[in-house]
Amino acid sequence: MTNPSIDVLGIGNAIVDVLAHADDAFLAANGIEKGSMSLIDTARADELYGLMAPAMEKSGGSAANTMVGVAGLGGKSAYIGKVRDDQLGAVFAHDIAAAGVSYGTPKATSGEPTARCLIMVTPDAQRSMSTFLGASASLCVDDVDETLVASAAITYLEGYLFDPAPAKEAFYKASNAAHAAGRKVALTLSDSFCVDRYRGEFLHLIETQVDVLFANEDELKSLYQTDNFDDGLQALRNHCPVAGLTRSEHGSVILWGDEVHVIAADPVDNLVDTTGAGDLYASGFLYGLARDMGPAACGQLGSMAAAEVISHFGARPEADLKAMATKAGLLG
Amino acid sequence: MTNPSIDVLGIGNAIVDVLAHADDAFLAANGIEKGSMSLIDTARADELYGLMAPAMEKSGGSAANTMVGVAGLGGKSAYIGKVRDDQLGAVFAHDIAAAGVSYGTPKATSGEPTARCLIMVTPDAQRSMSTFLGASASLCVDDVDETLVASAAITYLEGYLFDPAPAKEAFYKASNAAHAAGRKVALTLSDSFCVDRYRGEFLHLIETQVDVLFANEDELKSLYQTDNFDDGLQALRNHCPVAGLTRSEHGSVILWGDEVHVIAADPVDNLVDTTGAGDLYASGFLYGLARDMGPAACGQLGSMAAAEVISHFGARPEADLKAMATKAGLLG
């Protein structure tokens, strides 16, 4: 087995975020579940966009955000995800490449336009997402380059990939290729409603294929259908060797073989928008793991990157994460 | 003459801004004149975008930004400007309507894509703009509805409209229609290089048609080809009844018939991005003028709106300008 040339390869739904402020009454009036991600069709996307406040567009996509964070910490990251050959597709492709992530998935030349996620940020900084999957749903097995997968220490997959059927197949191809090459497979459960939709498949995956799991408290509880975080934690210990379990302002709990580590959240002076918090936690954790750091360092890098991204609008880091980590003594 | 049903109608190049951080070395390496606006073609736009850092997209366009500010202060504003029927055109149309501005210019169904302005924001918060005019350059006389012009107390025109030839014709049609209806015509000189390109025409316009002029110090000096602000001010007094002359952190000087008023800049705790400062100064000034306020109130509303927009990324206000103005005692 050769040494990996890439730290982390992310595979996910390639999405441009459309971010605007909204109040709780807007969410209620439009049937939007606070804090969650809902899938919407073209008609609903047009309707909801028409009702939204003036917005800004920033590249997003959960695994894509995570790969940008890995690159920002100084890691080598790559990304597989599908856009169309339209203006928003050009925006997505520009932004991820400009952030230093290797990205070469061919753009779709027909079919649905590039995916958009309409994100309402409420005054409490919570984000509620309505996603039109568009072209991202056409990611297929042909887009997964097994040589690329084999070259990455960790292949990181979104639970969201289970929503479009061809992407799910791509997911399995990548996971199998990673293990065939002796590499690690990481999964994020993405969203508690996503867990509801694919609980059986996720449980099977975790028991058989996942080396590193990311989940927040709601997702873990949903996975094991329990109201108790600790019950979920104990259930997971039997199946998954490494996990980063995030608990918002209460930090994270890390499963590391037989060990359990509790990591504090980094303080945030000005909480603006929680979009991307979980994605960037995964950036720090995965970078640490790919570079053979221990659980405390992995968790602390995750806490630091998450704190940066929630201190401004949008799901990708704006500060120099590597410099921040070096200043904080987490990187040499 | 009936009372106007609209406070201000803006006509300009309809543009989506692409904003990213850059350092001075980037500007130098790419031949970008700091603080100015340069026109670029498709090839240059693609090349420069490829070199830019990860960016965000926000609707822009000088007069469009100004109309959003007028609406934000509680005024009735409308806008005429051309986009294409593409994704960025949809973004522009959504954002301006969602901000409360009446906007109904038909989208171009063929030809160039929607205009983009690549904006590099340097650590000193200065913005340098490279504009691909695209579809905005196809604004033509047919897009100017004379009934709409006649219904507005003030029609506000961008100097930038002189760059595309058909838009210049639209400019004259609007100016003539406004005066025929007994309304006021306002002009912003837009950029000192723009003044260089059209000095003769601008001087003629100011001497014959412009009731209200907006210019910053560099533009005024360029107009009268002088190194001395006061010489420019004295020259302008002979030709234009009302003017708002902005001087960055030194505030503004207002010509008001025979009077000259000096207005302080509002303090800004956190200067982030000067994009839109002049546009939003014009918002406050024009709103005050349309509502028959005096020069001090017009200038103070302008200073307040400008201070808001330079305290964050992007050229459109994010705070509630009307509430801010009410709290500051500028509106009742």
- What pLDDT, on a 0 to 100 scale, did the predictor assign at position B1? 67
For B48-94, how does the pLDDT look when each residue is reduced to its tens digit (9 = 90+)? Answer: 999 999 999 999 999 999 999 999 999 999 999 999 999 999 999 99
Mutate to test the interface with A, among B91, B107, B120 (most CBs of A within 10 A): B91
Residue A1 has pLDDT above 80, yes or no: no
Q: What's the pLDDT tens digit per position in A107-125? A: 999 999 999 999 999 999 9
- If you average pLDDT over every residue of chain A, what do you get? 96
Contacts of A169 by beta carbon, 8 Å cutoff, 6+ apart: A140, A141
- Nearest Cα residue to B250 out of B268, B261, B263, B260: B263
> A245 - beta bridge partners?
A215, A253
Quick count: other Cβ atoms within 10 Å of Cβ A129? 24
User: Is the CB of residue A63 less than 8 Å from the CB of residue A156?
Assistant: yes
**Neighboring chain B residues of A59 at a CB cutoff of 8 Å:** 54
Mean pLDDT of A86-105: 98
- pLDDT tens sequence across B306-331: 999 999 989 999 999 999 999 999 99
pLDDT of residue A167: 86
**A57:B91 CB<8 A:** yes
Residue A266 lies in a domain: yes
pLDDT of A164 higher than 90: no
Question: How many angstroms separate the CA atoms of B98 and B22, rounded?
Answer: 30
- Beta strand B6-11 with B102-103 is unpaired
**Alpha-carbon gap, residue A156 to A79, rounded angstroms:** 9
Pairing mode, strands B152-158 and B127-132: unpaired
Alpha-carbon distance of A296 to A289, in angstroms, equals 11
Kindly tell me if the per-residue pLDDT of A14 is higher than 70. Answer: yes
Mean pLDDT across A291-303: 97
Give domain status of residue A332, yes or no. no
> B98, A53: Cβ pair inside 8 Å?
yes
Q: Quick one: average pLDDT of A266-273?
A: 92
| Amino acid of residue A261 | H
B94/A316 CB distance under 8 A: no
For the domain that residue B260 is a member of, what is the CATH number? 3.40.1190.20
| pLDDT > 90? residue A30 | yes
Task: Write out chain A in H/E/C secondary structure.
Answer: CCCCCEEEEEECCCEEEEEEECCHHHHHHCCCCCCCEEECCHHHHHHHHHHCCCCEEEECCHHHHHHHHHHHCCCCEEEECCCECCHHHHHHHHHHHHCCCEECCCCECCCCCCEEEEEEECCCCCEEEEEECHHHHHCCHHHCCHHHHHCEEEEEEEHHHHCCHHHHHHHHHHHHHHHHCCCEEEEECCCHHHHHHHHHHHHHHHHHCCCEEEEEHHHHHHHCCCCCHHHHHHHHHCCCCEEEEECHHHCEEEEECCEEEEECCCCCCCCCCCCCHHHHHHHHHHHHHHCCCCHHHHHHHHHHHHHHHCCCCCCCCCCCHHHHHHHCCCCC
Question: Taking CB atoms and an 8 Å limit, are B86 and A88 in contact across chains?
Answer: no
Mutate to test the interface with A, among B17, B87, B118 (most CBs of A within 10 A): B87
Contact A56 B55 (CB under 8 A): no
Half-sphere exposure of residue B105: CA atoms within 13 angstroms, side-chain side: 34
Residue B24 pLDDT exceeds 90: yes
In-domain check, residue A1: no
Specify if B332 maps to a domain.
Answer: no
- Does B33 have pLDDT greater than 90? yes
Cα distance between residue A72 and residue B122, in whole Å: 20
Q: How many domains does chain B have?
A: 1
A84 alpha-carbon distance from chain centroid: 21
The DSSP 8-state label assigned to residue B123 in this structure reads T
Residue B244 CA to residue B278 CA, distance in Å, equals 10
The partner residue sitting opposite A54, judged by closest CB among B53, B114, B316, is B316
User: By CA distance, what is B58's nearest residue in A?
Assistant: A56
With pLDDT > 70 as the criterion, what percentage of chain A qualifies?
Answer: 100
CB contact under 8 A, B56 and A55: no
Condensed to tens digits (0 to 9), the pLDDT of residues A229-259 reads: 999 999 999 999 999 999 999 999 999 999 9
Give the chain B residue whose CA is nearest to the CA of A60: B56
Total number of residues shown for chain A: 332
Q: Is residue B244 part of a domain?
A: yes
User: Three-state DSSP class for B285?
Assistant: helix
CA pair distance B51, B232, nearest whole angstrom: 39
What is the rounded average pLDDT for all residues in chain B? 96
Range of the domain at B136: 6-327
What is the mean predicted confidence (pLDDT) over A207-218? Answer: 96
Q: Do A94 and B50 touch (CB under 8 A)?
A: yes
What average pLDDT does range B268-274 have in this prediction?
A: 91
**Among chain B residues, CA nearest to A52:** B98
Block residue for tokens 């169309």: A84
B88 neighbourhood in chain A, CB within 8 Å: 87
Q: What is the pLDDT of residue B252?
A: 97
pTM of the model: 0.95
Whether residue B302 is contained in a domain is answered as yes
Please report which confidence band the pLDDT of residue A314 belongs to, taking 50, 70 and 90 as the band edges. very high
pLDDT for A317 equals 96
Please return the burial class of A87, using the count of CB atoms within 10 Å of its CB with bins 0-12, 13-18 and 19+: buried
Q: What is the pLDDT of residue B94?
A: 98
| C-alpha to C-alpha distance for A262 and A244, rounded to whole angstroms | 10
pLDDT score, position B5: 96
Cβ contact (<8 Å) for A59 and B54? Answer: yes
Partner-chain contact A56 B53, CB within 8 Å: no
Strand order in the sheet with B102-103: B102-103, B77-80, B6-11, B152-158, B184-188, B212-216, B242-246, B252-256, B259-263
Tokens matching residue A247: 């608990």
SS3 state at B130 = strand
> Within a domain: residue B203?
yes
**Predicted pLDDT at A38:** 94
| Encoded tokens for B67 | 């109309």
Residues paired with A217 in a beta bridge: none
Contact A57 B52 (CB under 8 A): no
* Chain A residues within 8 A of B321 when measuring between CB atoms: none
**Token pair recorded at residue B252:** 């503004």
> Which DSSP symbol is given to B268?
-
Q: Is B249 a member of any domain?
A: yes
> Which residues in chain B are closer than 8 Å to A86, comparing Cβ atoms?
86-87
Kindly provide the ipTM of the predicted complex, given to two decimals.
Answer: 0.93
Cβ contacts of B95 on chain A, cutoff 8 Å: 54-55
Nearest residue in A to B319, CA atom: A21
| pLDDT score of A168 | 86
